[in-house]
Structure 1
Amino acid sequence: MADQDNPQEIADKFLSKLHDSPFVMIGLTNGEHSEPMTAQLDDSQPNTLFFFAGKDNRIARGGDAMAQFVGKGHDFFACLAGTVSQANDHAQIDRLWNNQVEAWFPGGKEDPNLTLLRFDIDSAELWETDISLSGRVKMLFGGTIRGDESSSHAVVDAVA
Structure 2
Amino acid sequence: MTDTHADATKLKGDLWKKMAESPFLMVGPADGSTHSEPLTAQLDRDQVDTLFFFIGRNNRVANGGELMLQFVSRGHDFFACLHGKARVDNDRALIDKLWNRQVEAWFPGGKDDPDLALLRVDIDSAELWETDMSIAGKVKMLFGGTIRSDQEGSHATVRTTAETRG
| Band of TM-score, shorter chain | over 0.9
1:6 aligned counterpart, secondary structure: helix
Structure 2 spans left out of the alignment, 5+ residues: none
In the alignment, the residues of structure 2 paired with residue 140 and residue 74 of structure 1 have an alpha-carbon distance, to the nearest angstrom, of 15
In 2: Cα distance, 1:57 partner to 1:141 partner: 44
The match for 2:161 is 159
CA RMSD of aligned residues (A): 1.1
CA distance in 1, matches of 2:70, 2:57: 22
Residue in 1 aligned with 2:111?
A: 109
Structure 1: 4+ residue segments shifted above 4 A: none
The correspondence of residues 24-35 of structure 1 with structure 2, limited to 5 A, is: 24-30=25-31, 31-35=33-37
Deviations 1:72-101 (A, max 9, x none): 011110000011111110000000000000
Say which SS state the counterpart of residue 138 (structure 1) adopts. helix
What is the CA–CA distance in structure 2 between the aligned matches of 1:26 and 1:118, rounded to whole Å? Answer: 12
Q: CA deviation at 1:147?
A: 1.0
Give distance in 2, aligned partners of 1:101 and 1:40.
10
Q: Give the alignment of 1:98-137 within 5 angstroms.
A: 98-137=100-139
The question of whether the paired residues in 2 share the 8 Å contact of 1:132 and 1:150 is answered with no
Given the alignment of the two structures, is residue 82 of structure 1 paired with residue 105 of structure 2, yes or no?
Answer: no
Q: Percent same amino acid among aligned pairs?
A: 59
One-letter amino acid of the counterpart of residue 151, structure 1: G
C-alpha separation between the residues in 2 aligned to 1:138 and 1:69? Answer: 26
Q: Letter of the 1:9 partner, please give it.
A: K
Partner of 2:2: 2
- Say whether residues 1:23 and 2:24 are aligned partners: yes
2:21 counterpart letter in structure 1: D
Q: How is 1:1-80 mapped onto 2 (pairs within 5 angstroms)?
A: 1-4=1-4, 5-30=6-31, 31-80=33-82
Deviation at 1:146, TM superposition (A): 1.4
What is the aligned residue count? 160
3-state SS of 1:40 partner: coil
Post-superposition offset of 1:28:
1.1
Which residue does the alignment assign to 1:92? 94
